Structure formats: C-alpha cells, structure tokens
C-alpha cells in the first residue's frame, strides 16, 4: 500500500502545482472550455469533414457509432467512479484549503468522464479521418484543453485525467474495429 500512498501524494502535489498557475484573469476562459455544450460546433465540423469524405449515409452511421462510444464511455466511467469512490480535490480536506473553488462537484473523481469521452471521440475521429485530412491530428487540441480545464478547476487529479485518456483510447479502439471493418 506504500506505493499507492506515494502515488496519491505526488498526484495531489502535481494538481496543487498546476492549479497554483491559475489566476482570476483566466478563470472565465477555463470555465467556458470545461462546458461540453461549447464543443458542439467542433462536432458539427467533424460531421461535415466525414460527410465530405463518406457521404451522408456512411457519416450518419459513423456518427451513431461515435455517439454510442461516448455513451458507453459514460457508463463505464460511472461504474468505475462508483466502485473506486475517490473524492474530488475540491472535497479532499488534505488539500482543499489550497484550492480556489470555481465550480462545485460532489460526485467522485476517478476516472475523469470529460477525459474519457473526449478522448474516445477524438481517437475515433482521428483514425477515421487521418487518411483524408493531413491536419486531422489537430483535433487532439480539443480533449487536451478540455481535460486540462478539469485540472485548472481542481475537480480532478492528474491521474484521473491520465487514466481517463487511456480508457478513452481503449474504448475508441474497441469501437474502431467495427467502423474500420465497415469502411
């Protein structure tokens, strides 16, 4: 258990270091970035990029499977959160006195749903579009900003985000197999 305690200690210290870099000047930006609704235009851009390559019928099928992967991600994340039950940094009495509270969150922290879902969708989109758009790797800017916002706002620890990213990769890989087979 000593290794786990050490890992958790350094996880908390890294969060405090990153969170300390924030200031009221940037709070509004990160509060906007963290809201999933503000990313809807990007989803329309991805849909349009797919439509230009695959046509409407295939793009609708790909979009349905991508939506299904996002919903699957949420179910898996909620199962993990309720099993692990790691409290959020905002609610962790060992560090919350050093955190500026910008939003309220009372559910569990591990793993980050924002990281898992956004990386699931991004990896799927990247793998589908990379043959057709040489700049498709730029879509990784979306989940990087999105997940960093969770650290900035101190609603997740770095390991929550990192494990969410890895989980998103695995889920995307599972969903990419049938999509790749179809196209």
Burial class (CB in 10 A: 0-12, 13-18, 19+), 5: exposed
pLDDT recorded at residue 103 = 83
CATH 3.30.1280.10 assigned to 2-182: no
- Rounded Cα–Cα distance for residues 12 and 24 (Å): 22
Cis ω on the peptide bond leading into residue 111 (within 30° of 0)? yes
Q: How many CA atoms does the CB half-sphere of 26 hold within 13 Å?
A: 13
Burial class (CB in 10 A: 0-12, 13-18, 19+), 24: exposed
pLDDT recorded at residue 126 = 94
47, 31 Cβ separation under 8 angstroms = no
Q: Angle at CA 158, nearest 5°, toward 72 and 75?
A: 15
With CA atoms as reference, report the closest residue to 117 among 72, 82, 70. Answer: 70
Retrieve residue 132's tokens: 């057709």
Read out DSSP for 119-134? Answer: HHHHHHHHHHHTTT-T
Coil vs helix vs strand at 182? helix
pLDDT recorded at residue 1 = 62
Q: What is the pLDDT along the chain (183 residues), one digit of tens a residue?
A: 688 888 889 988 888 888 888 888 888 898 888 998 888 888 999 999 999 999 999 999 999 999 999 999 999 999 999 999 999 898 888 888 788 877 877 789 899 999 999 999 999 999 999 999 989 899 999 999 999 999 998 899 999 999 999 999 999 999 998 887 776
- Rounded Cα–Cα distance for residues 77 and 168 (Å): 10
């Amino acid at each position: 258990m000593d290794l786990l305690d050490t890992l958790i200690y350094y996880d908390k210290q890294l969060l405090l270091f990153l969170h300390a870099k924030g200031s009221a000047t940037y709070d509004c930006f990160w509060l906007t970035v963290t809201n999933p609704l503000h990313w809807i235009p990007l989803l329309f851009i991805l849909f349009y990029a797919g439509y230009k390559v695959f046509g409407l019928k295939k793009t609708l099928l790909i979009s349905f499977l991508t939506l299904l992967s996002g919903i699957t991600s949420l179910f898996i994340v909620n199962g993990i959160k309720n099993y692990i039950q790691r409290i959020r940094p905002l609610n962790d009495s060992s560090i919350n006195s050093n955190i500026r509270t910008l939003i309220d969150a009372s559910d569990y922290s591990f793993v980050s749903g924002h990281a898992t879902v956004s990386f699931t969708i991004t990896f799927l989109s990247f793998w589908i579009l990379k043959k057709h758009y040489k700049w498709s790797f730029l879509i990784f800017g979306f989940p990087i900003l999105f997940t960093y916002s969770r650290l900035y706002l101190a609603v997740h620890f770095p390991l929550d985000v990192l494990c969410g990213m890895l989980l998103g990769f695995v889920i995307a890989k599972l969903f990419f197999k049938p999509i790749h087979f179809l196209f």
